[in-house]
Chains A and B, each alone.
Chain A
Amino acid sequence: MKRAEPVVWGSLGAAVALLAWQLGTAGSPVIPTPWRVLVGFGELYRKGLLASYIAASLTRVAAGYGAAALLGLPLGALLGSYPGARQYVDTSIQLLRPISPLAWMPLAVVWFGVGNAAPVFLIFVGAFFPILLWTADGVRNVPKPLVAAGRNFCQSPAAVVFRVLLPAAFPRILAGLRAALGIAWVVVVAAEMIAVDSGLGYLIIDSRNAGQRYDLVIAGMLLIGGIGILLDSGLARAGRLKSLSWGSGYDGIH
Chain B
Amino acid sequence: MKILIVDDFSTMRRIIKNLLRDLGFVNTVEADDGQTALPKLQAGGIDFLVTDWNMPGMSGLELLKAVRADANLAGLPVLMVTAEAKREQIVEAAQSGVNGYVIKPFTAATLQEKIDKIFERVDA
The reply to whether chain A is a binding partner of chain B is no
